[in-house]
Amino acid sequence: MQTKQHCNEDAITAYLLGMADREDANHVDACLDCYARVERARIEMEQLRAATQNLASRPEQFWDRQRRAIMERVTPVQRTPFRRWLWVPGVVLGMLVLVFLLHLLPILHPRPEPGDIVKTQPQQLQQDADDLLLVEIQNDLQRPVPRALEPATLLVQARNNIAQSNKRHTSGGVQE
């Protein structure tokens, strides 16, 4: 046995797999060199198996990463037309809201126009009644308006001027 040459790689692998010839197995058991080669081959095989297990367990993460990377590249292409269509309903809705607000605006902020007396007259009359009440109270008290109400008095005077210019004649008790 000692005269036998060292085992070749096939014999080492066969020994590692438990399939070596009896002659080779005896040599490996007796030869430190060949035994060391078998151990190295065993280590290499363990590393190879670990690497294989890594490869086998990696695809989940690998493909997940691949999918994310692909989606990051694909998504902008898909988003662009989606965004392009997305702002259209928003603009339409905004235009509808704008039209609606423009429609409500004259109701929320009525402006008495000289040519539109018919529509504004009831409210104008109500304002005149309020103004008359305030002015009458002021006249009845026979004293200057409190300083805090002076701006209101100016507003009343302005409204009375507008009302008198609109209606020429009605309020008899209002005098400046």
Q: What is the contact surface with Zn ion in residues (CB under 5 A)?
A: 6, 31, 33-34
**Residue 16 CB, nearest approach to Zn ion (Å):** 14
**Residue 26 CB, nearest approach to Zn ion (Å):** 11
Rounded-to-integer distance, Cα 76 and Cα 43, Å: 48
**Quick check: 17 and 25 in contact, CB under 8 A?**
no
Cβ proximity to Zn ion: between 7 and 135 the closer is: 7
Cβ proximity to Zn ion: between 33 and 116 the closer is: 33
**Residue 56 CB, nearest approach to Zn ion (Å):** 35
Of 99, 121, 101, residue with least CA distance to 109: 101
Ordered DSSP codes for 136-174: HHHHHHTSPPPGGGHHHHHHHHHHHHHHHHHHSS--SS-
